[in-house]
Amino acid sequence: MATRPHILFVLGNPKDEIALTEALGANYILEFCQDPDLTLEMVESSKPKVVVLSFQADLISPLAIAHVLRSDPRADYTGLIYISQLEANEWLDRAVSAGVDVCLPESRTMLQTILAVESVLRLCAVKAEVQKLNETMHNAYQRLKSLSFTDDLTGFGNHHFLTNQLRIEFKRAQRYQKNLALLIVRIDSLKDLTSINLLQETLLGKVGQTIGSLVRFEIDFSGRSREADFFVILPETELDGAISVAERIRKKIYKIHGNAENHHLATSVGVAHFDGDRGNFESFEDLLNTAYLAVNDAQTHGGDQYWALDTSAAEMPEERTA
């Protein structure tokens, strides 16, 4: 059985209660208030679907009530009817602009009141449906947004997220003359990965979790860039600190068994470091390209090691290997 809608009447004339009860009591739950100052308190406590304001003592009160009812667009929509003794268009326009749904004249008939209540209830139903659709669309958008920044294999950031975050962190480091390090961790046995089987998918997931467990929570950023490459962004980290992180990651990943023969999983790590005092890189792209050059050099020299570059790839780098 459907619940009868709850209607709150704020009346200036208590004699109207009897007529309203006779006309509407069978179809609606009616509540009456004689004190306009208690309107918002009663709305909060009883949660009516429609509020009918019929008082003339303070012309600003209906506008104030409408303003409060409409202040939170996420709240359930409460219909608002105002019965006014004024017929000036300016006042009615102000009431509608404030959020009043229907304005009725003081000389209204009971039929007009009933029709106004029914129309506002239909409006409330439509508003509720729109709100539900908006919430559904918002949730879908958030899921899509999350997917667009998340690698589906590891659950960590993807290439789009990581490069965007690197851009942000580089600008911050450049502006405040801070250190910034970028690590590219590459699984040596999967360097030419073009398609991913179940075993490789499992390995990539383990690598992502291992790296994530070794970086600072809510300070550093890690994730899978593409294929077998993982990014680690280390804000405010000097070169020696970045190398220390690179070695911890390499040694930890080495303990992961890469196949059924229990072969260990070897990785190469490229380290690029931005020194805020020296300004040794002009752009985040320069830093990124240098990190790629470093990991390529690490693999060229046999893999299973780190290779650190402390200056732009376009210049003669300072190199350190394991």
At which of 83, 111, 145 does a domain end? 145
pLDDT in tens, 240-286: 999 999 999 999 999 887 665 667 889 999 999 999 888 899 999 99
The residue among 33, 26, 72 whose CA lies nearest residue 51 is 33
Domain of 16, CATH number, reads: 3.40.50.2300
pLDDT at residue 96, rounded to an integer: 83
* Residue 87 pLDDT greater than 90, yes or no: no
* pLDDT score, position 13: 73
Residue 151 lies in a domain: no
What would the pLDDT profile of 190-237 be if each residue is shown by its tens digit? 756 666 677 778 888 899 999 999 999 889 999 988 888 999 999 999
pLDDT score recorded for residue 60: 53
- Give domain status of residue 152, yes or no: no
Q: Are residues 104 and 191 in the same domain?
A: no
Residue 312: the pLDDT is 65
125 plus 231 within the same structural domain: no
Residue 47 within a domain: yes
Question: Cα–Cα distance between 316 and 314 in angstroms, integer?
Answer: 7
The model's pLDDT over 277-319, given as tens digits with 9 standing for 90+, comes to 888 999 999 999 999 999 999 999 999 999 998 776 555 444 5
The amino acid that residue 136 corresponds to is: T
153 belongs to a structural domain:
no
- Look at residue 317 in the predicted model and tell me its pLDDT: 46
Q: At what angle do helices 159-176 and 284-300 cross, to 10 degrees?
A: 120
Buried b (16+ CB within 10 A) or exposed e, 55-85: bbeeeebbbebbeebeeeeeeebbbbbbbbe
Asked if 172 and 298 sit in the same domain, the reply is yes
**Mean pLDDT for all residues in the chain:** 85
Higher local confidence (pLDDT), 12 or 67:
67
User: Tell me, what's the pLDDT at 149?
Assistant: 73
The CATH number given to whatever domain includes residue 174 is 3.30.70.270
User: Is the sign of the CA dihedral 128, 134, 137, 139 positive or negative?
Assistant: negative
38 vs 144, residue with greater confidence: 38
The helix/strand count (H/E) of the chain reads as: 9, 11
Among 66-70, 72-76, 240-244, the least confident range: 72-76
158 has pLDDT over 90: no
Q: What is the pLDDT of residue 273?
A: 96
Q: Provide the pLDDT for residue 122.
A: 95
Do 293 and 169 fall into the same domain? yes
Same domain for 37 and 60: yes
Q: What is the pLDDT of residue 316?
A: 46
Whether 190 and 308 map to the same domain: the answer is yes
- The whole-number pLDDT of residue 139 equals 80
In this predicted structure, what is the pLDDT of residue 272? Answer: 96
Q: How many CA atoms lie within 13 A of 149 on its CB side?
A: 12
Across 71-179, the runs of DSSP E, i.e. the strands, are 79-84, 102-105
- 167 and 87, same structural domain? no
On whether both 133 and 169 belong to a single domain, the answer is no
Q: Are residues 126 and 167 in the same domain?
A: no
Residue 248 inside a domain? The answer is yes
Domain total in the chain:
2
Of 58 and 93, the structure prediction assigns the larger pLDDT to 93
Residue 187 shares a structural domain with residue 310: yes
The percent of residues above 70 in pLDDT, for the chain, comes to 87
Residue 183 pLDDT grade (very low, low, confident, very high; cuts 50, 70, 90): very high
The yes-or-no verdict on residue 68 having pLDDT over 60 is: yes
What is the number of other CB atoms lying within 10 angstroms of the CB of residue 239?
Answer: 19
Check whether 322 has a pLDDT greater than 80: no
- Select from 85, 119, 145 the last residue of a domain: 145
Residue where a domain stops, chosen among 121, 145, 169: 145
Give the per-residue pLDDT at 296: 94
Q: Which domain holds residue 38?
A: 6-145
Please give the Cα distance from 172 to 169 (Å, whole number).
5
Q: Are residues 30 and 118 in the same domain?
A: yes
Give residue 248's pLDDT: 95
In terms of domains, do 167 and 207 share one? yes
The answer to whether residue 118 sits within a structural domain is yes
| 150 found inside a domain | no
Instruction: Specify if 313 maps to a domain.
Output: yes
Between 92 and 270, where is the model more confident?
270
Q: Check pLDDT > 60 for residue 59.
A: no
